[in-house]
Each structure stands twice: as C-alpha cells, then as structure tokens.
C-alpha cells in the first residue's frame, strides 16, 4: 500500500532507517501505511478468546474420543455365509454392503468356509451383494440394521434373494449429511478389498491423507493421468438423494471447508505484529478462510475423447489479504484495509485433449501461480503457517496456460497472462509469458520442476516479479515413510522507487513496495531477492505426519518485506486427521531477521510462535 509520512516524526525516522512500511500480506506484498499500523496496533485480541479457542479444540478432541469409545454400542454388525446354488459355502467371494442413505460401500472377502463379517456398520437400510469368478447375486439382500444389533444372513450366488425387510427406508438430506461424518470418523474393520482406481503413469509416491497430495504437485492444470476420487460429506448426502444419479452422471461436485486458527508469539505489539510471518500474522484467534468450490474435472486417465472441466471458488476470511489481485475486489484491501474480505482466487475452464502427446490440458481463467510447494488454499499445505519463501512471491494469474504430458517422464507448460496478481484492465498489466518444465524418475519417487514464472520487461509495477524457480521432490525409498520437498527461487523488479528519496516516493504504486537503495540520491534501483526452503516429512501413521521446515530468505533491498535484511526460519509441525474430514495442524516456529529488527512492528529481531489451525471439510 502507499507510503505516506507518519505523524510521529521519531517513529517515522526509525521506520525509514529499516525501510519498514510494515508490509502486510496482500498477494505476497502490499504495504500497510504507518498511520494504519498505529491504528491496527490498538486492536488487541482478548486473552479470553485464546482460552475459548483452546477450549473449543479440547471439546472437539473429547467428542472424538467419546465417539470412538462408544462405537461398539452405537453401531451394528452383519455376518453370514455366501453359498452357491447347491448351498456350498464359497471362499474368497467379495461381499458388499451398501447403505441406502449413501456413503462408500463396505467390502470384505469370505473366509475359507464362506463366512464373512462386517463390524462397526452404521445403523440403517442396507443392500448386500456377493460376487466371485463371474457369479453374482441376482438380487441384493435387503436388510435393516438397528443400533447395537448383530444380524446373520446367507447370501446366495445365482439364487433367489433373501429380504429381512421389503420396504426400503430413505433418510432426509440433513441426516445423510451428518451420517457421512459419522461413517468417516468410524474406524474401518477388516481389509479394504475394493479395486484401486485406474491411473496412467507412475504409482503415487505418498499417501493423501495424511499428506496434502499423493503425486508431486504442479500448478496450472489437473494432474494428467490421475483420477478424481474425491467424495466429501456434502456430495455424499446429495448422491444419496432422489437426484443422486443425475449428479453423479454430471461429474459436478460442490464442496469446501471451514478454517480457523490461533497463535501466541513473543511479539506483543498488537496489530499484525507477527509479520513477516504469514498467515498467522495477528496474535489470537482468526477466521482464516471459509471456502466453497463448484467443480468438474476432466477425465485425464482415458485417452480416447476430449473432456472438459471447470472450477469456481469463493473465499472469505483474513486470508483474502494474500490472494487479492489488483483490479478485482481489491478495494477491500488496497482502499479500505478490511480485516476480513472476499475473493474468488480461482475461476477457470479446462479443456483436456488426449490426442496431443500423452495428454494436454488447456486452462483459461484465473488460477494459482504455477510453481511452489505451498498454495493459498489451506488443505494444500503441510503446515498452518507459510514459509517466507512462499509469502513473498507471485500468488495468482489470469490468462491461458497449456500443460502437456510429453512422455512418461517429461511435462511442459507455457502460458500468457497480464502479470502477477493484476487484472488486464489495470495500468500495471503487461503481456507476460510463463513456462515450466518437469521431469520425473525413479518410478515417480523423484521429481524436479523448473519455472520461469513471469517473462516481461521486469520494470517496477504492481507485483511485477521476474521469478525463476526450481523445486525438487524426493522419496527416500519405495517403502520409506520419509520424503522431502525443496524449493528455491530468485526474483527481481528493476527501476524500483527508492523509499528514502522524495522523487522515488512519488513513483510508488499503492500496494507495491519500494526499495531501500544504496544511496539517498538514487531515485530507483534494482531490487532482487533470493530464498530457499526445505521440508522433511515423516508419516507416523494413517492419520498423522510430522513436518520439519527450514529456510533462508534474503530481501536484499527490502522490497518484499519492507526490511533490508536476511532471515532464517525453522518449524516443527504435526498434522492429525480425524477420518478424512477434520485436520488439526499445531506447530512451533522460530525465525530471525539478522540485519534489522523486522518483527513486533519493527522492534525485535527474533520471534517464537506457537500456533494451530483446524480445517473442517464438507
């Protein structure tokens, strides 16, 4: 945001000495005027709110623990024998029990004497079928299971069906929606013998959950060759309704999440005193992002026909400050400096053409910037808070991007946009090319991804960063629970106004930082910065993982953070899932600015933060 003179001369001198016009995240840049910093400083989050958040998280954990303890009494059990026409028990038959209210079917194999058992079933109306070696039940066995019941049935192959109850019992939408959560949180019993979804390419190197992805990610496209297997509670409830088949046939899904967090740090100055840390830049409880998606993904596993997809997203909360693009709802931040706001960080159309190489996806619209391990949307990240490396580069672009799977190893991307975080009708817009090249080897366990994310004249404008990225993903072995992700970039803007020169100050654009040039006489100067971040990830169980993050970031002339200094940051985080619909991410983080005090509103060089967020998916 614009650089204006502070009313307090002494504080203004101190801030100028460090080049700090308290940079507050808008699309990884955006300065908060010193006047607004003084106003924000008076806003303190009462300690009672922190206690309230802790109580809320504790209550959630108690409810989860109580639910697990009561599973045996709140569920039903189904057992029996699968027989052929002659009444002979069949070993190795697949038994499937499908709840009429919706949700994923439960599947189990029969034992050597044809017996099967499905425990921890949700009460309700089920249809049970069996299949083996081309034989299948002519009609499903219909059965109603009550709470705490243990029911025995025989399932014939090729014979008449047996029905304990003849009239199916349908549940309402709200009940189906709530039951989908209960089913998700209930521990699975027995092995899952459902066939894995078809895919093209290397097998997924990691599990998701607990990790935010299964194959190494890249931006600007769906992952070509991978299926879309998502099924959230909202869609499960919709599919179980009278129009469920039509929704499934359309391929359109509606889903999203609610995300809130809290933190306490050694920076006590109030306002956004945790900055340059992001996204937990304000101490206390914060409404991070509440997100809704409407989406259809093209089927990129098949190679015989053109397919299409789209995504429309809406985001509300504090995190809009990081996704704002100049000229698109940007007055909320750049004009009014609202605490919470709305943004639509993605709205695009995908066209998948399998006949080009091994598949090409063409995306038109607004999309997340292609490189980076991290992303603005909370579920796409290992940790709650973001690295400095991620915080201060490009966020979104509006344009067209083509992604081609050239071979089983190589992937190529090229695109055109008006620049980083800016709309084509703004003065900062200029034709900007981006291009990336990816290479995967060791059966998908290693991937290297290089990008030149913004190719234009490189002159100072609204977030007009010339940025060069290199990312490497690595799994230590096929059976290892460890993997790493490392990213490095170099970026710059030329002809950047000098914040300590009156003529330079006159050239500043609202929301675009100036630089602390070598001499006061310089009106503009070259403004580079460099960063490298490494994640080491360890999967401790089906629902848990640990994150270890270390990084180095050098803001050579203070153009990104407002402080002419280099930084280091170190984090240990834990991710814990409840089923696949709730994620807790507590963390401890220490960071230091070396050449100037950047933390606690420009008064401290060190900062220690304890933070956590929770994501509830729907």
The model's pTM: 0.77
The residue ranges of DSSP E strands in 514-593, in sequence order, are 524-541, 544-555, 565-578, 582-584, 587-593
Q: What residues have CB less than 8 Å from 61, skipping those under 6 apart? A: none
- The mean per-residue pLDDT over the stretch 372-394 comes to 96
pLDDT band at 191 (very low <50, low <70, confident <90, very high): low
- Of 185, 202, 233, the residue at which a domain comes to its end is 185
Separation between Cα atoms, residue 267 and residue 611, nearest integer Å: 13
Q: Residue 242's domain spans which residues?
A: 9-43+210-617
Residue 6: the pLDDT is 31
Residue 599: name the closest of 338, 322, 271 by CA. 271
Instruction: Based on the fold, state whether residues 180 and 283 are members of the same structural domain.
Output: no
Residue of 225, 216, 251, 449 whose CA lies nearest to 359: 225
pLDDT at 57: 42
- pLDDT tier at 189, thresholds 50, 70, 90: low
pLDDT of residue 188 exceeding 80? no
Q: What is the pLDDT of residue 63?
A: 39
Of the residues 148, 169, 185, the one at which a domain ends? 185
Note whether residue 446 is domain-resident. Answer: yes
Least confident of 134-148, 191-205, 565-579: 134-148
Average pLDDT over residues 21-37: 36
pLDDT band (50, 70, 90) for residue 158? low
Q: What is the DSSP letter of 325?
A: B
Residue 17 pLDDT level (bands cut at 50, 70, 90): very low
According to DSSP, the β-strands at 76-83 and 150-156 are parallel
Instruction: Provide, rounded to the nearest whole percent, the portion of the chain with pLDDT above 90.
Output: 67
Lowest mean pLDDT among 40-54, 75-89, 322-336, 547-561: 40-54
Q: Is 349 contained in some domain?
A: yes
Q: What is the mean pLDDT of residues 304-332?
A: 96
- List helix spans (H) across 370-457: 388-391
Check if the beta carbon of residue 409 is closer than 8 Å to that of residue 440: yes
Are 440 and 499 found together in one domain?
A: yes
Do 231 and 130 sit in the same domain of this protein? Answer: no
102 and 14 in one domain? no
pLDDT digits (tens, 9 = 90+) for 408-449: 999 999 999 999 999 999 999 999 999 999 999 999 999 999
Give the pLDDT mean for 255-276. Answer: 95
pLDDT at 9 over 60: no
Give me the chain's average pLDDT, please.
86
Count of domains observed in the chain: 2
Tens digit of pLDDT for each residue in 446-463? Answer: 999 999 999 999 999 999
Alpha-carbon distance 421 to 401, whole Å?
A: 15
Radius of gyration of the chain (CA): 27
What was the pLDDT predicted at 166? 37
Q: In the prediction, which pLDDT does 74 show?
A: 52
CA distances from 341 to 166, 319, 330 (A): 53, 8, 10
Phi/psi for 196 (5° steps) reads: -65, 150
Same domain (yes/no): 169, 20: no
Q: Which of 530, 513, 531 is nearest to 29 (CA)?
A: 513
Q: Are 273 and 170 in the same domain?
A: no
pLDDT score at 283: 86
- Does residue 396 belong to any structural domain of this protein? yes
Q: Distance between CA atoms of 604 and 615, rounded to whole angstroms?
A: 31
The pLDDT value given to residue 154: 85
Residue 119, SS3 per DSSP: strand
Let me know whether 231 and 329 are in one domain: yes
Shared domain for 223 and 142, answered yes or no, is: no
DSSP bridge pairs for 471 = 449, 487
| pLDDT in the model for residue 138 | 63
Q: Are 157 and 139 in contact (CB under 8 A)?
A: no
Checking if the pLDDT of 295 tops 90, the result is: yes
Claim to verify: residue 181 and residue 234 sit in the same structural domain? no
Query: Cα separation of 429 and 420, whole Å?
Result: 9
Q: What is the CATH number of the domain that holds 136?
A: 2.60.40.10
The reported pLDDT for the residue numbered 37 is: 37
- The set of residues, in sequence order, having a beta carbon less than 8 Å from that of 41 and lying 6+ positions away, is 269, 270, 271, 273, 601
Q: Quick one: 262 and 394 in the same domain?
A: yes
Q: Which residue has the higher pLDDT, 113 or 495?
A: 495
Contacts of 167 (CB under 8 A, 6+ apart): none
Q: Inform me whether the pLDDT recorded for 33 exceeds 50.
A: no
The CATH number assigned to the domain holding 569 equals 2.40.160.10
Same-domain pairing of 355 and 272: yes
Judge whether 192 lies within some domain: no
> What H or E segment, with its residue span, contains residue 502?
helix 502-505
Q: Using CA atoms, how far apart are residues 216 and 204, in angstroms rounded to an integer?
A: 8
Band of residue 159 on the pLDDT scale cut at 50, 70, 90: very low
Q: How far apart are CA 207 and CA 219, in angstroms?
A: 19
Q: Which residue has the tokens 């990240």?
A: 381
Q: Span 286-314, mean pLDDT?
A: 97
Q: Which residue(s) pair with 145 in the sheet?
A: 124
Confidence category of residue 113, pLDDT binned at 50, 70, 90? confident
Q: Is 377 a member of any domain?
A: yes
- 21 exposure class (CB count in 10 Å sphere: 0-12, 13-18, 19+): buried
Mean pLDDT computed over 256-260: 98
Query: What is the predicted pLDDT for the residue at 43?
Result: 36
Q: Is residue 446 within 8 Å of 475, Cβ to Cβ?
A: yes
In a domain, 251, yes or no: yes
Tell me whether residue 270 is in a domain: yes
Residues 288 and 357 occupy one common structural domain: yes
Could you say which of 151, 185, 219 is where a domain stops?
185
CA–CA gap between residue 334 and residue 325 (Å, rounded): 10
User: Could you tell me the strand order of the sheet in which 115-121 lies?
Assistant: 115-121, 76-83, 150-156
Instruction: List, for residues 593-606, the tens digit of each pLDDT value.
Output: 999 999 999 999 99
pLDDT score recorded for residue 76? 80
Q: CA-to-CA distance for 112 and 71, rounded, in angstroms? A: 28
**Residue 480 located in a structural domain:** yes
């Amino acid at each position: 945001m614009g650089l204006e003179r502070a009313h307090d001369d002494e504080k203004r001198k101190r801030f100028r000495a460090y080049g700090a016009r308290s940079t507050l995240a808008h699309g990884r840049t955006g300065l908060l005027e010193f006047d607004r910093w003084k106003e924000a400083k008076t806003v303190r989050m009462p300690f009672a709110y922190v206690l309230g958040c802790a109580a809320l998280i504790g209550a959630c954990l108690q409810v989860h623990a109580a639910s697990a303890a009561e599973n045996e009494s709140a569920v039903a059990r189904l057992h029996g024998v699968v027989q052929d026409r002659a009444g002979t028990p069949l070993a190795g038959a697949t038994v499937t029990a499908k709840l009429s209210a919706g949700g994923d079917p439960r599947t189990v194999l029969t034992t050597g004497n044809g017996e099967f058992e499905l425990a921890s079933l949700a009460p309700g109306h089920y249809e049970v079928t069996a299949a083996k070696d081309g034989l299948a039940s002519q009609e499903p066995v219909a059965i109603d299971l009550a709470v705490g019941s243990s029911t025995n049935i025989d399932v014939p192959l090729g014979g008449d069906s047996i029905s304990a109850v003849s009239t199916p019992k349908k549940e309402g939408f709200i009940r189906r929606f709530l039951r989908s959560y209960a089913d998700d949180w209930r521990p699975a019993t027995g092995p899952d013998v459902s066939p894995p979804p078809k895919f093209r390419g290397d097998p997924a190197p990691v599990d998701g959950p607990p990790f935010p992805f299964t194959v190494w990610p890249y931006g600007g496209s769906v992952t070509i060759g991978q299926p879309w297997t998502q099924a959230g509670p909202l869609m499960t409830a919709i599919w179980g309704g009278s129009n469920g088949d039509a929704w499934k046939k359309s391929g359109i899904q509606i889903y999203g999440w609610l995300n809130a967090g809290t933190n306490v740090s050694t920076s006590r100055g109030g306002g956004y005193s945790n900055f340059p840390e992001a996204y937990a830049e304000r101490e206390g409880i914060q409404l991070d992002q509440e997100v809704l998606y409407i989406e259809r993904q093209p089927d990129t596993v098949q190679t015989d026909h053109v397919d299409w997809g789209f995504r429309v997203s809406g985001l509300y909360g504090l995190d809009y400050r990081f996704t704002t693009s100049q000229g698109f709802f940007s007055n909320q931040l750049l004009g009014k400096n609202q605490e919470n706001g709305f943004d639509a960080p993605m709205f695009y159309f995908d066209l998948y053409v399998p006949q080009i190489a091994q598949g090409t996806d063409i995306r038109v619209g607004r999309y997340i910037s292609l490189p980076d391990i991290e992303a603005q949307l909370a579920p796409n990240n290992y940790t709650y808070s973001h690295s400095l490396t991620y915080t201060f580069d490009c966020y979104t672009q509006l344009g067209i991007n083509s992604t081609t799977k050239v071979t089983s190893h190589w992937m190529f991307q090229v695109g055109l946009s008006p620049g980083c975080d800016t709309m084509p009708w703004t003065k900062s817009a200029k034709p900007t090319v981006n291009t990336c090249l990816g290479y995967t080897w060791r059966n998908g366990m290693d991937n290297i991804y290089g990008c030149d994310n913004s190719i234009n004249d490189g002159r100072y404008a609204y977030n007009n960063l010339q940025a060069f990225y290199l990312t490497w993903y690595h799994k230590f072995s096929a059976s290892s629970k460890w993997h790493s992700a490392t990213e490095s970039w170099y970026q710059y803007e030329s002809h950047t106004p000098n914040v300590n020169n009156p003529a330079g100050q006159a050239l500043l654009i609202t929301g675009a930082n100036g630089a602390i040039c070598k001499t006061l006489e310089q009106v503009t100067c070259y403004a580079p910065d460099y960063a490298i971040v490494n994640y080491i990830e360890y999967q401790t169980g089906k629902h848990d993982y640990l994150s270890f993050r270390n990084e180095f970031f050098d803001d050579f002339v203070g153009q990104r953070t407002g402080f002419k200094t280099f930084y280091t940051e170190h984090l240990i985080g834990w991710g814990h899932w409840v089923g696949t619909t709730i994620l807790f991410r507590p963390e401890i983080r220490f960071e230091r600015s070396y050449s100037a005090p950047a933390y606690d509103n420009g008064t401290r060089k060190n900062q220690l933060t304890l933070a956590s967020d929770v994501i509830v998916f729907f």
